[in-house]
Every structure is written in C-alpha cells, then in structure tokens.
Amino acid sequence: MPKRKKIALIGAGNIGGELAALCARKELGDVVLFDIADKEGLAKGKALDLEQNGALLGYDCSIKGTSSWDDCAGADVVIVTAGVPRKPGMSRDDLLTINLKIIRNVAENIKAKCPDALVIVISNPLDAMVYEMKKVTGFPRARVVGMAGALDSARFGLFLAHELGCSVKDVRAMVLGGHGDTMVPVTSYCTVYGVPVKTKISKERLDAIVARTRDGGGEIVKLMGTSAYYAPASGAVVMAEAFLHDQKRILPCAVFLDGEYGYKDLYMGVPAVIGGEGIEKVLEIELTTEEKAMLEKSAAAVRELIEASKKL
Ligand code: APR
C-alpha cells in the first residue's frame, strides 16, 4: 500500500499556520504542526481548525498539532519557521542571537527524528540559520535548503508586472545572493514573455523597483508590525512540492555552495534544480560585472553572519 507523505512544520505561528493550510489544500501529505510546549494549544487549535476546513473544502489529509518530536518522526519534508519574527526597526540580522539557539535545538531533533527528510529553513537571518541547520544535522547539501530566493523573486516579479501593466504570470524575475539588504536582483535575466525587462523599463524605474524589492520584507513589517507570512509560506510549499512530485523545477534558493560562483562553505541564493533527490543541481549563469560585484558584497555579508554565529 503506498503511504501518504508526511510533512512536519516546525513552528505553528503565522507562517507555520499558512504552511499547514497550503499543504492540506494541495494534499501534499499528512501534516504535523509542531510548536514548543507553551504553544501546544496554538498548534493543536490550528490543526483542528484546518481539519474542519477540509470537511468544507474536501481535502484528504490528517493535520496534527503537537509539542512532541515523536510525532514528527520519519517526516519526508520538514519546514522550519521556529524562531521570532522581526519587529519594526529590526533587521533580519538582529534576530541572530535568539534564533540561533532555537535552530540548534530544532536541528538536533530533526537529526534524531527525521534523518531522511528534506529540510527547508525559513527562519531568519536565513543564510546563517540554514548554515547552522546543515552543520548540526550533518545532512548532505541536497537535503538542507533555505527559502528566500523564491520569495524575493516573487516580490521582484510582482513589482515588475505592476510597472509593465502585465500579468505576473508572464514575468520571470530572479533574485540571487543572501536574503538581506544585499540581495541581488539580477535584472539581466528578468524577462516579460521572454523580452528583457531592461528594454521596456527605464534604468531609473528599474533601480527604484530593485530598491523596493530589497526592502520588500521591511515594507510589510512596517505595515503589520510583524513579518510577512502568506508569500513566505508559498515559497516553501513550491519547493516542497517540487521535491515531493520530482518536478525538477528551477527555483532560486539558498544552497550550500561548494565552489559554484567561486564560493565555498557558504549558503547563498542561487538558481537550483529541485526534484526527488532534493537540490539536484546548482545552475551557474553568466553574471555582469556589476552583478558579480553585488554578489560579492552579499557573500561578504553572509560570511560575517556565519562568523558571528560561530562565536555564539
Ligand atoms: N521549536 C519549535 N517552535 C518554536 C521554537 C522551538 N524551539 N521556538 C519558537 N518556536 C515557535 C514560536 O513559539 C512561534 O509559534 O516558532 C513560532 C514562530 O511563529 P511567529 O512568531 O508567528 O513567526 P512567523 O511570522 O511564523 O516567522 C517565523 O520565519 O520569516 C521568518 O523572520 C521570520 O524568523 C521568523 C520565522
């Protein structure tokens, strides 16, 4: 008998809840929504609400809220949002000290209970958190990935579509590098129905769109007082789906670099193929001199965070 896949969501907060809703609606598998003991009620309540939602919408999957790692055992995919989100005025990097401790604990448990899972990290500061996840679990790079590029590229694509007055479906946008102020929106590869956007949008407007993309998360934090959750959840679900359905999708995501783009021992956003083996391949694309310089700056910022983590 084929068994349903199991998806463990670590953190039942804003993103965790939306992740559970999306996984259930897409019937990606049975869902376990995990949080710390103090928040077990939140995890259980959201799970029950979502199972009742299934009775209305007609999806078949079990959704269980828990604070026991035993319930996560044997998961095929683990998506990690454990940690605290940003408050207005905070940068993602400000979260380092608090979230590092949490990620170390989560990683130990994943290593013990979900040794064969694909782990997708969302917690910020993303590149440092996913680096720590790989370090503590000791999993191969194919199975530890960070979600950031998909979200940043979606934001970039939306702003480009608004500017062009066209459907977001016809825009292809790519953002590489670290998930922070130094992210690299790669305008040379952004197209609308195959036509480079550079030929359709003035440099001045394109620069403004790039700046808005870089601050895409901060803009939402200012409005809501906490960080975004719908699009971050969707970014991770697209990645999980590519893995579970062996779709071989090309998505920008934070991958452990082993010489690609000239970088080693570092997580950074690059275009990668996600299929049944996890991260199956990193695509190396030709960058302009300016883009290479931006990537270098981004790598330096990520390295700084990783070095800071090592001291904590
Ligand atoms: N194990 C599991 N869950 C934990 C742990 C832990 N050790 N520590 C904290 N959590 C839980 C919190 O109890 C909370 O319910 O993580 C959840 C986080 O949820 P929210 O505070 O709503 O944060 P959210 O908006 O979901 O963002 C989570 O993702 O994008 C990043 O910057 C964001 O780092 C933040 C993370």
- Tokens describing residue 187: 């305008």
Query: Counting atoms of ligand 1 from 1, which one is nearest the CA of 124?
Result: 34
Centroid of ligand 1 to alpha carbon of 261 (angstroms): 32
Active site residue 179: yes
Residues of the chain with pLDDT under 70: 1
Residue 115: cis peptide before it, omega within 30 degrees of 0: no
Has domain 149-310 been given CATH number 3.40.50.620?
Answer: no
Ligand 1 pocket test, candidate residues 78, 81, 101, most atoms within 8 A of CB: 81
Tokens 């270098």, located at residue: 296
Centroid of ligand 1 to alpha carbon of 9 (angstroms): 10
Has domain 6-146 been given CATH number 3.40.50.720?
Answer: yes
Round to whole Å and give the CA distance between 40 and 46.
10
pLDDT tens-place string over residues 216-245: 999 999 999 999 999 999 999 999 999 999
Give residue 221's Cα distance to chain centre.
Answer: 17
Is residue 129 a contact partner of residue 308, using CB atoms and an 8 Å limit? no
Instruction: Name the active-site residue from 81, 179, 236, 295.
Output: 179
User: Given this model, what pLDDT does residue 141 score?
Assistant: 97
Query: Counting atoms of ligand 1 from 1, which one is nearest the CA of 129?
Result: 34
User: Given this model, what pLDDT does residue 1 score?
Assistant: 65
User: Given this model, what pLDDT does residue 229 score?
Assistant: 98
User: Given this model, what pLDDT does residue 184 score?
Assistant: 93
Round to whole Å and give the CA distance between 16 and 82.
8
Round to whole Å and give the CA distance between 156 and 149.
10
- Tokens describing residue 311: 């001291």
Ligand 1 site, residue 153, Cβ cutoff 6 A = no
Centroid of ligand 1 to alpha carbon of 82 (angstroms): 4
Structural domain boundaries in the chain: 6-146, 149-310
User: Given this model, what pLDDT does residue 233 score?
Assistant: 98
State the DSSP H helix or E strand holding residue 118, giving kind and residue range, or none if neither: strand 118-121
Round to whole Å and give the CA distance between 263 and 57.
46
Give the count of beta carbons closer than 10 Å to the beta carbon of residue 215. Answer: 14
Whole-prediction pTM: 0.97
